[in-house]
Structures are given as C-alpha cells and as structure tokens.
Chains A and B, each alone.
Chain A
C-alpha cells in the first residue's frame, strides 16, 4: 500500500512515500504530521479506480505549481489552480474513496501540491 506522506511545515519537502524517502522520516522535524497518519489515496469513478503512488502525487504537485500556470490566460490558470484538484476529486465524475473523510484526502493533496519543490513556476 502506498501511503502519502506530506511535510506540512512546507519547509523541506514534497509528497513522497515511506518507502522512497526514508531520509525524510529520519530527519523530519517535530511539527511534521507522522507519515502513518496518511491514508492510501484512491481516485475513482463509477467505472474505474486509480491509486495514487508517490510519483503520481509528485506529478500532481508539479501540475499545481507549474503546469497549470502555463496553459492558458493568467486568470484561467489561477482558476484552474484553485479548482483542478477539486474537480479531480469531485463527487460524481471522480470520487475520492478512503477509509476516513474525503476532505482529508483533498487536504493531503493540496498540501502535497503546495509543498512541491521540484519546479519553478
């Protein structure tokens, strides 16, 4: 199972997994939320489902901080940045399923996006 770990302080990292970033775990500061608090994230609709692995969460972060800002007018880019993940996790077309609340999934994804440090918007 892939577990999304996000450093919520926003000062040192991006979305990752327990398996791929043990250094983050060993060096994380005290205010970071423990990694095992984060659930597997599965995005699905009535026809299919897809579990986000660390690369997918990382890519989502790049979309949020870089790609979405490069595809339309400035106003449209900002609008998309605000709503893309909301739409991606929208109930009906795409439903985020998890063991706890959908809001927590969105919050986790937004955190992953905002803390992405792989790109220069």
Chain B
C-alpha cells in the first residue's frame, strides 16, 4: 500500500505541473513495480481475513493508477492511433481483476472499513434512468450494431455494452455517480475486449462514446478519456474513412473531447476519401 500511495501521488504531482513531461517519472515506475510485485506476492501467499481491507483498498488505488498512467498527451502517440504496444488496454485488464479482488475481500461485509460506503454502492447499482435504452442512444446505433428485436447477447457482442452505455449518455457525470460509469467497462464481455484489441471500429466507437461522458471528470480520468477519445476519432477517420455512419456518429465524441470539427471530405466509393 505504501508504494501504491507513493505512485499515485507522484502521478498526481506530474499532472499538476504542466512544465513536466507527460512521460512517467522514474519515481512512479519504481514504486509501481514494487507495488505490483508486493501485491502479487501477498495475493499468492493467501489472503487472511485481516488482510481483506488492505487488499481491497490497494486494488482501488491500483485501478486508479492504471487508468491515470497515460504517458502521452498527443493523440497520435496514443492507442489506438499509434502502432500496437504491450501496454495497450492494460487498464481494462486491471479493471476486470478488481472484480476478483472484490469477491475475495468482500468490502461490503459489516466489519469492513469500507462498510460505510455501502449506500453509495447500492445507489450506483440502481438504474440511472427509467428510459428504455433505445431512447438514450442515437437512432443510427440500432442498425449499426444490429440491435433489432431478434438479437441476443449470445450472438451480438455489442448488445450488452450498448445497453449499459445508453443510460450514461443521459446522465451527467458527478463524483458521486462515478462508479456507474465504470460499470460500463467492468461489464465488457471477453469477446468485446478482443474486438477492442483488434481495433474493431464499432467497438472503438462505443468506447469513444463512453470516454466522451467522462472527459470532464476527475484528474485521473479525464486525461486518458480526452487523449484516447481523440485518438479513436483520428484512427477511425484515417483507417475507416469509408464508413459514413461511423464518421457521422463520431461528431458527438469529437466535440466532447475537444477535437475541431473535421473537414467533410467527398467520398468516392472506388477511390476512398479525398483529402
């Protein structure tokens, strides 16, 4: 935990000082590697009942660190626009790991130091809106993701994610409802994660919409949300410029993440977009 605290504070220092490079500092890297090693060893050694709160508290901070650990500020150097890198979507894997730790640590048990937060967890687990999901998404989503009445989650890898994302598009982010927003990525099915790794344009569009809901949030969330949202927009415009529906749907995330409106380019089917 001490290394985790040191890492997170060092990242926060870097974020608060615009004169510092966006690259990770040696201090961050040292403490994070020590924290990860120690955490894995402690987990492997078995979790005693008295360790559970420390285990969960550390998992929360590690999750924040993984999301905050973005060491570029130029969207062209960020995923997915850049060439593949082993660290791509690393934060998403850690986000899923937290679910396992939750089951082990059970922070909602009555003797947990996290028990006072149980009301917040319950509040954020209830639906954010009474609207049907189809009323919350752009109409073009229905056809783009094949969400007619006949599809089921088993044969449509996007359906669950679209339905989870939908109410967030009608919800203003606050510190209090933050957990609601992270439930979207925590609920990703493995097939959707694989599609993201393969830079599937529909999966990327969903992630861009989610990022657009948290561009104006806490310091440790907003940088990745803005930079990777921009990066997704630029990638889709570069590599999928012939998919008009996707380009049209990109307008909202593009605006939310602060990219200038794109120049609309004439599209010639046999030649592609003209610059």
Contact = CB atoms under 8 A, between A and B. Distances in A.
Contacts of A87: 1, 53-54, 57-58, 113
Interface residues of B, number: 39
Interface of A: 43, 45-48, 50, 52, 55-56, 59-60, 62-63, 66-67, 70-76, 79-80, 83-84, 87-94
A76 B113 contact: no
A70 B12 contact: yes
A74 B6 CA distance: 21
Contacts of A76: 117, 120
A60 B6 contact: yes
A88 B2 contact: yes
B25 to A, nearest CB: 12
Contacts of B60: 72
Nearest to A82: B113
B269 interface: no
B175 A62 contact: no
Given A50-B34, A67-B8, A79 B116 contact: yes
Given A80-B57, A84-B57, A87-B57, A48 B38 contact: yes
A84 B12 contact: no
A107 B79 CA distance: 44
A75 B220 contact: no
A47 B40 CA distance: 10
A33 B139 CA distance: 68
Nearest to A90: B54
A62 B12 contact: yes
Contacts of B64: 71
B219 interface: yes
B34 A45 contact: no
Contacts of A75: 116-117, 120
A121 to B, nearest CB: 12
Nearest to A60: B5
B178 A73 contact: yes
Given A63-B5, A66-B12, A88-B2, A72 B113 contact: no
Given A79-B113, A84-B57, A92-B51, A43 B2 contact: yes
B176 interface: yes
